[in-house]
Structure 1
């Protein structure tokens, strides 16, 4: 099996279109643009269907990378997986995390244990009426397995985070399905994000053996007991297929990084965050562990659908001024930032079938100095 070396670099941004930090690192030789496989970012939009900061950020990155890759901007997005999560409420700070991968001769002498590995795959394009249904689940499961193979990961227990960019419905897409005599999961663009995210997460759970493969259309958004402990899904208007990024540890990796995860059972589950930090040899901030450095934390957040957290009522679902997803990102972001010692963390809202109801996965990447 080919040995690869994976790097993960977090870069602060001054706005959705700011690429100066990335370009500076490319100019200094710290990042080889030809080795970039994926970029995950947090932008300061509202995180809704009309959050154009995500598209703006991707357009700026494609324009900046195009001349350095010798490609037109529209082809850069076909080569690199871009996942922009809108919403940096509270103390969350806009940033991007750049993942690079290159082939190497072998592991350095003395390197032990499994190291960070990354793989990517795409599903086929979906019809609008397939979003939120079993077709999306099945095709996503296939893509997750393909991404695992691309990452050199053979054991599902070594998968610690699966980031997916999935489609959503628009009025034109709903009308197209209706013209074919088919019905979509919902006619609401905003509502479709939950269906698409949920079905994609169930696809991860099927691929990793977390749930049985006999998931039905009617289980999506209804069976709270069906979920993945490592899935993170985000819906966007700019595509009609799923982009799947698998992050885990592998013996075929010579990376200086490791990844681990835990599952938050609710929005104030601090012990789960500590467990995730501990899984890669880190502690609560300030991380004074010798030879270990925090790179980033990736987490999902949602307002508990039963309207309470540990027996006490919350108002996130009832607030007409601020959406529940923005409340959840701010709450979970504040909790994790306090434990991590930084607000430059990736917290995404909308956790349908991504962890238990009201909770979600939390993954940590650390750099090792050995």
Structure 2
């Protein structure tokens, strides 16, 4: 019976894989079982954030030292740039092993890689359909048949660059936008809607191309998408609960309606056995293996009736403000800031809010 293992490892720089290397050397991590690595790197999280590519290269070289190149290439490397505020750079390593005994149902992990996305399909229905198929493939890889058992879908999606736009236009194809920063938003949006379709949250027939990145009434409560320059396809990781898996780990999710709505997250922690009226105490904190969240500045420029200026700052992108803000709110709840907060929550939770997933060790 498969058993999921999750390791959270601190990083001193985007290419610092020494903690993973030490865990492999000690036998704590078996590279043959690694399914995915999620990383928070201290770049700007924008088009020119090459910290993500540096991290991906460092991880690839690490795993190629322990695995054949083809096997190393199957590991999903989902790098999220931007550790604003007190957010701590770190890796979250997802590993699949085998064993008997332990509690069931338990955390189940699946992954999928899509083909390269034609650049003219980015931010359009073609990307929605490709991601929906990829999420279904990742669910199958995890052995999860019922979408209701999925608690989080982490997707790394591509973006447009000037060179990619020129390549599409040379073929006579028109891209959705020539604004490379806007392309990040559209790619995240289409990918989130694809996940929502696969999970049965939104009817595919009800989505029009004009709604992608504009109709905030359409959203998924379990999708997390992150766009990056370091890939041209989609890497998809599905996390859920399955009776066919065993082990001490369990996952639950919540949806924050805005950046300070921590009570749904507290409720998810309580469902997993970490009940606390205030901040988690050290013993409970040690049982919380990983906290994953999305962050977004609301498009109306308001937060519970008061004006915010995240959208008006010409010096710092709103996604950077939102990441630091949401990380601070969640850190006050759980007692540390080694939290995976990804910015840009288009169609990921209600406008200004976002999905959150908590992984806990019940052992």
TM-score (norm 1): 0.94
Task: Note the C-alpha offset of 1:271.
Answer: 0.8
Cα 1:250–1:289 change in 2 (3 A) is: farther
1:239 partnered with 2:231: yes
Match of 2:55 in 1: 57
3-state secondary structure, aligned to 2:6: strand
1:252-331 mapped onto 2 (5 Å cutoff): 252-284=244-276, 285-287=279-281, 293-331=287-325
* Number of equivalences: 360
| Cα shift at 1:52 | 1.1
Alignment-derived partner of residue 96 in structure 1: 91
Decide whether aligned partners of structure 1 residues 77 and 323 sit closer, same or farther in structure 2, where only a CA change above 3 A counts. Answer: farther
Instruction: Quote how far apart the aligned CAs of 1:276 are.
Output: 2.4
Q: Tell me, yes or no, if the aligned pair for 1:281 and 1:292 is still in contact at 8 Å.
A: no
Alignment of 1:347-362 (within 5 A): 347-362=341-356
Question: What displacement does 1:242 show?
Answer: 1.1
Corresponding residue of 1:18:
16
- In the alignment, is residue 189 of structure 1 matched against residue 180 of structure 2? yes
Displacement after TM superposition at 1:291 (Å): 11
Q: What is aligned with 1:44?
A: 42
Distance 1:178 1:28 in 2: 51
Deviations 1:127-161 (A, max 9, x none): 11100111111111111111111111111111111
Matched residues in 1 for 2:67 and 2:60: separation?
Answer: 10
Whether the aligned pair in 2 keeps the contact of 1:267 and 1:359 (CA below 8 Å) is: yes
Question: 1:12-69: CA deviations, max 9, x gaps?
Answer: 1111111111111111111111111100010111111111111111111122221211
Runs of 4+ in 1 over 6 A off after TM superposition: 288-292
Distance in 1, Cα, partners of 2:284 & 2:38: 28
* 1:173 matched to 2:164: yes
* 1:140 counterpart SS class: helix
Instruction: Please give the secondary structure, in 2, of the residue aligned with 1:129.
Output: helix
1:68 corresponding residue in structure 2: 66
Checking the alignment, whether the CA contact within 8 Å between 2:104 and 2:247 is kept in structure 1 is: no
Specify the alignment match of 2:81 in structure 1: 86
Change (3 A) 1:64 1:259: same
Cα distance in 1 between the residues matched to 2:165 and 2:68: 37
Q: CA deviation at 1:349?
A: 0.3
Distance in structure 2 (CA, Å) of the matches to 1:328 and 1:297: 16
- Structure 1, 165-174 or 259-268: larger mean CA deviation: 165-174
Task: Please tell me the root mean square deviation across aligned C-alpha atoms, in Å.
Answer: 1.6
Counting only pairs closer than 5 Å after superposition, residues 125-136 of structure 1 correspond to structure 2 as: 125-136=116-127
Residue pair 1:282, 1:292 contacting (<8 A) in 2 also: no
Aligned-partner Cα distance in 2 for 1:181–1:305: 34
| Unpaired segments ≥5 residues, structure 2 | none
**2: distance between equivalents of 1:34 and 1:281?**
31
Q: Provide Cα deviations, 1:173-221, integer angstroms capped at 9, x if missing partner.
A: 1122222322111001111000100000000100111011111211101
Structure 1 residue matching 2:65: 3-state secondary structure: helix
Q: Distance in 2 between matches of 1:303 and 1:14?
A: 28
- Cα distance 1:112–1:66, how it changes in 2: closer, same or farther (>3 A)? closer
Q: What does 1:90-239 correspond to in 2, within 5 Å?
A: 90-104=85-99, 107-108=100-101, 111-214=102-205, 215-239=207-231
Q: Once the two structures are superposed, what CA deviation does each residue of 1:244-288 show, in whole Å capped at 9, x if it has no partner?
A: 110001011113200000000001102122122223221343347
Q: For the structure 1 residues 126 and 291, does the alpha-carbon distance in structure 2 shift closer, same or farther, using more than 3 Å as the test?
A: closer
TM norm structure 2: 0.96
How far did residue 295 of structure 1 move? 0.5
Query: How many angstroms apart in 2 are the aligned matches of 1:230 and 1:291?
Result: 23
Q: 1 CA distance for matches of 2:267 and 2:186?
A: 30
